[in-house]
Amino acid sequence: MGQLKLQKPKVIIMDVIGTAVKLGFIEKILIPYVKSDIKEYLTEKWTDKNLKKNIERMRKESEKDGESGAKIAAANAPEAEQQESVATYVLAAVDAKKESKGLQMFKFYMWFYGFEKGKLETPVYSDVPIQARKWKDMDVKLYMLSNGWTEFTKRALSKTSHGDLNLLIDGHYDSSEGQLNNKETYTKLLAKLKVKPDECLFMTKSAEAAHAAKEAGISILLVLTHRKNIEKLTEEEKQMPRIRSFNELEFSSKEGGGEGAAQPPAEANA
């Protein structure tokens, strides 16, 4: 594999899952944790105001399901009955891949608990902290852009397989700025960061997100570790500059982006 040399940007923006954090983090680690530890979490945090708020949200959502689906017991029901009904509802919803505000916030706060108790650790690619430290030494700012919630990203990156990555990150943004496949999201983000499009590099696993960032004038770089994901690209997407590892990326001392600079050598596409 060859090196890809780009002009040094002032700012790097990257998405999280699949770029910095290993693919499968949610399906292989976070969801199984919910299934295995939900009763412990409910017992330990039962009086917590955020838990109570999220249970009330889910209770209202469960009532809207009508006769179908599990129901959460009334707030005046015995504590044990309430806890059992919450666990039943959440596990059924997770298995059915149900999405709702209450359920999502419940999971977020349960994962926060897991990080605090040392039961969860975020698996990051080993090349990420190595290169992020180099970029910091080069005075390149690093920002994370997530489809999820900023608070979760911060918590997850504070407890990783390579320590607290937040020490290397200058800021976090999420989909409250807009969808990652929307050009306006990146235009808005550039304004907040007070940088020009050609001073910014966006690193992502998503060709769709890369296309949107490119429309906003930002230099782009696909990060695709697995060959199967490369094979899924269209012929047009395969022309986008890409790397398999952050270690393949090298910056020249001159600042700026530049569309012409972001072209990978043939061996980097292999």
- 75-107 pLDDT, tens digit each: 999 999 999 999 999 999 999 999 899 999 999
Q: Are residues 34 and 91 in the same domain?
A: yes
Output the CA angle 187-131-159, nearest 5 degrees: 85
Last residue of some domain: 116, 144, 174? Answer: 116
Whether 98 and 150 share a structural domain: no
Residues 228 and 178 in one domain: yes
Residues 251 and 177 in one domain: yes
- Say whether pLDDT at 266 is over 60: no
- pLDDT (0 to 100) of residue 159: 97
134 and 245 belong to one structural domain:
yes
pLDDT at res. 269: 31
Do 78 and 172 belong together in one domain?
Answer: no
Position with higher pLDDT, 229 vs 149: 149
Q: Report the C-alpha gap between 41 and 38 in whole angstroms.
A: 5
Residue bearing tokens 């992020």: 132
Q: Is 255 helix (H, G, I), strand (E, B) or coil?
A: strand
The model carries a pTM of 0.88
| pLDDT value for 260 | 36
- Do residues 26 and 123 lie in contact, with contact meaning Cβ atoms separated by under 8 Å? no
Q: Half-sphere exposure of 212 toward its Cβ, with a 13 Å CA cutoff?
A: 17
On whether both 77 and 55 belong to a single domain, the answer is yes
Pairwise CA distance, residues 54 & 27, whole Å: 22
Strand partners for 144: 14, 172
Q: Can you give the C-alpha Rg of the chain in angstroms?
A: 21
**How many independent structural domains does the chain possess?**
2
Q: What CATH number has the domain bearing residue 131?
A: 3.40.50.1000
Task: Please say which residue of 116, 139, 174 terminates a domain.
Answer: 116
Residues 138-150, mean pLDDT to the nearest whole number? 94
pLDDT at 244 over 50: yes
Q: Which domain holds residue 220?
A: 4-21+122-269
Q: Which residue has the tokens 């017992």?
A: 43
Give 150: exposed, middle or buried? Use CB within 10 Å, 0-12, 13-18, 19+: middle
The H-or-E segment that residue 28 falls in is none
Residue 222, strand partner residues = 204, 242
Encoded tokens for 67: 């006769």
